[in-house]
Chains A and B, each alone.
Chain A
């Protein structure tokens, strides 16, 4: 693991929060106090060329984080710095320039491609918008990109409905790489795909990263997927970042009880171990983000929770170099019987 402290971050997220009004309607915004706090005060950094994995169960705010960074939704509070410039303060033109350097890969390969455009039009659209090259040059780039992502460049005039889910996701990846951006936000790019296709797409993303040196913010709910691709991993629970570390440490010595329980839920492909190993089973459903628990948001389900946890909100402390954790009782929990091949 390279020492992250000495490099300048590509993306810096500071105290980002996003709240949605809980009631719709023309007066709700002004008069209603009820809000869904989707993302609450999270901070992290992404360095050039690395992959930052963001995991958590559905509804914990991972996607909202990604969308706020991209300014697809406007954050309620906090700052996002891309190469030192604050995204939330940018005007239309600055935002457009910034979007050359930052692209998005979507979860659903069926919804993310316009059914009325050909593959060539879809992949070349970022270049068209940013006036890169002539039409012929753009089409040449599209052919190269299709080749790189493993699609037949002859299919440039086909429509998305003529492709399978995995192929469509490759089209989405080709589109994200069209402008050779510095950062790509991958919002669960493989969770809609078959397991066999998942591995192919993950390997493709890895190869492309080696080739172009792109940094990824890789959002997923599947720890085993994140493990394959990430340099560092952040774990989210109910809109909060609870633990952040390089992935080896996180997978072998998770400090936060939530991370520990998540890791103990990853199935082990060995029936003998799977049957006998210790699992931490969380009781109940995650609380509603409409009415988050006081103190530590995890205390309602935490096996270690005490009186203090329901009152004091734990701060996000550095428990070891480069390893942050938000828990009053953070302590390493070595996973001895880990199946993870280090």
Chain B
């Protein structure tokens, strides 16, 4: 059949191809963000990551409606029944087991998700806000700004991160808010570096010169030309940074510098479980799994975003 293609068939095929391209041409224009979303949807691992994050967020947000009725309070312990309910292995009634005070571990993991997610997101928001301003100043204006800001960033990065956070919390006091603030403030140098290098790359493009030649102000050049073209790297980095902030909060709580008991946090739960490592390993394993899966989900999403936002990968 293929060899005996009649001219009519060929014409038909040509016409078909034409209407196809015409419909593509007349269709709604594709923006880079919608393209990126399309590519992201094709990345299975990233979709799994998104699903898991959405699931964890929903569970944490709606926990008040159902978790306590089903599994009991995440904080209060009943001393009268403690003898029979403490350190139970995972069973139908307590899917994740119970801890040394007889509290259900699942409900504590669920409430711990609130702490972890809010720390992850808020701390990242703080570091991103500071990092963007610093990175923009350093990258766009260069010169003395660049030297001052980037050397300051080097100094920040030269300190062991957790030690730095611990000492800052020791100074400003131990509370959940201060955990956000400490992690947020100390996280800016890496964001600033990423944004600065993105700006340095974008700045060299002719369209920035074109805007300058038109008489555009610096603010306009940054907002309309540089930021939209360099924000992709920040989105990727910030996403991965959320996972990092969750880990830092867990480390802090594990070290006893994070949230104040009895409020559950994944890190403090692991610390509690340390004592019972041999007898009741689920006390450590369950919150550990929660940290692992959530951080992994953010990393997978960030990875997927990086591939999806890469303008060079046109077709998908």
A32 within 8 A of B: no
**Interface residues as binary, A80-110 with B (CB distance below 8 Å gives 1, 0 otherwise):** 0000000000000001110110111011100
| Alpha-carbon separation in the docked complex, A112 to B204 (Å) | 10
> Complex: how many Å from CA A302 to CA B283?
86
> Which stretch, A125-133, A195-203, A234-242, A272-280, touches the partner chain B?
A125-133
B220 interfacial contact with A, CB 8 Å: yes
Contact of B216 among A26, A103, A125, A161 (CB under 8 A): A125
**Residues in A neighbouring B212, C-beta threshold 8 A:** 72
Contact of A112 among B29, B30, B207, B217 (CB under 8 A): B207
Whether B215 lies near A116 (C-beta < 8 A) is: no
Closest A residue by C-beta to B212: A72
In the complex, which of the residues B32, B213, B217, B225 contacts A104, with contact meaning CB atoms closer than 8 Å?
A: B213
What is the distance, in angstroms, from A87's C-beta to the closest C-beta of chain B? 12
Q: Which chain A residue shows the least CB distance to B213?
A: A104
Q: Which residues 104-125 of A have a CB within 8 angstroms of B?
A: 104, 106-108, 111-118, 125
Residue among B213, B225, B314 making CB contact with A161, cutoff 8 Å:
B314
Return B268 CB to nearest CB of chain A, in Å.
44
Interface size for B (C-beta < 8 A) is 24
Query: Per-position contact with B for A155-183: 1 when CB-CB < 8 Å, else 0?
Result: 00111011000000000100100000000
Asked if B289 CB lies within 8 Å of chain A CBs, one says no
* Chain B interface, DSSP helix/strand/loop, else mixed: helix
Please pick, from A111, A126, A158, A161, the residue contacting B207 in the complex, using a CB distance under 8 A.
A111
Total A-B contacts with CB atoms under 8 angstroms apart: 76
Q: Is B7 an interface position by the 8 A CB rule? A: no
Q: How far is the CA of A125 from the CA of B31 in the complex (A)?
A: 19
Is B133 on the interface with A (CB-CB < 8 A)? no
Give which listed residue, A95, A100, A106, A158, contacts B210 with CB less than 8 A: A106
C-alpha gap A112/B211 in the complex (Å): 9
- Binary per-residue interface labels of chain B (121-155) against chain A in the complex, 1 for a CB within 8 Å, 0 otherwise: 00000000000000000000000000100000000
Residues on A with beta carbons closer than 8 Å to the beta carbon of B314: 161
Max chain A Cβ within 10 angstroms of own Cβ: one of B29, B30, B212, B229: B29
List the A side residues contacting B216 at CB < 8 Å: 125, 129
Contact A162 B209 (CB under 8 A): no
Give chain B interface residues in 5-42, CB to chain A under 8 Å: 29-32
Q: Please name the 3 residue pairs, one residue from A and one from B, whose CB atoms are nearest each other, closest first.
A: A112-B206, A99-B215, A96-B215
